[in-house]
A = this chain, B = another copy of it.
Amino acid sequence: MTLPFLWHGGAIAAARARFGDPGPQGWLDLSTGIAPIAYPYSRLPVQAWTRLPDSDLAEAFIGAVRAAHHLPAVAAVLPIAGEQAILGLLPLCNAPSGAVCVPKPGYRGHAEAWAAAGRLVHERADPLETAGEGGVIVVINPNNPSGRRWSAESLLVAASAQAAAGGWLIVDEAFGEVTPDLSVLAYSGRPGLLVLRSFGKFFGLPGLRLGWLAGPPEVVGPLALRLGPWAVSGPALALGARAEADELWRAGQRRRLARLAVKLDGVLSRAGLVGLGGTDLFRLVEVPAGTRALDWFEGLAAQGILVRPFADAERALRFGLPGTQAARDRLAAGLARAAVK
């Protein structure tokens, strides 16, 4: 077992190196939480490519985000080239001192970024337990991979308690587009509350590298300076502005993803895998007692189906959404074969 599969999804090149080429049908990549249906990306303006991404491109994207997500005027918005691009900077720009509390299970990038900056990092199932102690608290809502949810109310209470203690609450809403009721975006701009959003997962365009951060200007401003003037590509900003403003497509995508997720549930439960949680962009399941997730992972990978195992959860597997009936049929057949193996 090589490291990349346990560290993040989408590592098809590593899968090919480890398991060989699955033949003409290619890999079925269910190892990420990325929508299998992409926002139409053709017909971008020429200048998105041939000019430096000027401030008007960024402003158009920010304006679309503000309108789509009902951001209050007091919140500042910073476009970023994907979440990874900002995580390493957060500890460097006037971050509160004190302990850093991150969710476990949870996307590892948070803990790694704070640890790389020399900060003491605690992992908790519910990081909100330390709200009011200051320092930095990170919540992923809904959680990846567990799907655990925190109500907007509980997050706002925690943010206030953190702010009163001079601390931050960072809410990573990377999968938040499919759970609008949980979002605290409408309250962003409050002291101590930072909200992170991913673009590529919901819109099915992770190759673009696009996301954004919303928070109080006194936090966002120094981060923007640090990122410099051209941190996000022209194609990403131009397409992002168009997609965020496309309410009809977004509503349709939410319905499509919900339908695909329910159909995935059927495939998984018929294979004897028990749902542990998830979002409409991925599902987390438990493999049957007496079997190991890594064996299922390898059995599927041998058939060209890549899913997501975890280093510290022996019986958990995460599945992204198959986008078609053919993909579901292939997964069902793959699971049947992996199970008897």
- A229 to chain B: closest residue by CB: B8
Distance, CA A109 to CA B38, complexed state (A)? 36
Asked if residues A233 and B236 are in contact (CB atoms below 8 Å), the reply is: yes
Of B32, B109, B228, the contact of A228 (CB 8 Å cutoff): B109
- A226 to chain B: closest residue by CB: B88
Asked if residues A207 and B10 are in contact (CB atoms below 8 Å), the reply is: no
Of A49-57, A70-78, A127-135, A140-148, which stretch is located at the interface?
Answer: A49-57
What is the count of identical protomers in the complex? 2
Interface check A311, CB cutoff 8 A: no
Interface check A274, CB cutoff 8 A: no
Distance, CA A9 to CA B55, complexed state (A)? 12
Asked if residues B230 and A208 are in contact (CB atoms below 8 Å), the reply is: no
A89, A204, A207, A229 — most chain B CB neighbours (10 Å): A207
Asked if residues A56 and B12 are in contact (CB atoms below 8 Å), the reply is: yes
- A238 to chain B: closest residue by CB: B207
CB distance from A199 to the nearest CB of B (A): 12
Of A79-87, A150-158, A177-185, A248-256, which stretch is located at the interface?
Answer: A79-87
Distance, CA A38 to CA B49, complexed state (A)? 9
Question: Given A9-B52, A10-B52, do A233 and B204 touch, yes or no (CB 8 Å)?
Answer: no
Binding site for B on A (CB under 8 A): 4, 8-14, 16, 29, 32, 34, 38, 41, 47-56, 59, 81-82, 84-85, 87-89, 92, 109, 116, 200, 204-209, 226-236
Q: A51-B207, A209-B231 are in contact. List 9 more A-B contacts (CB 8 A).
A: A10-B54, A38-B50, A48-B207, A50-B205, A52-B200, A84-B229, A87-B228, A206-B230, A209-B233
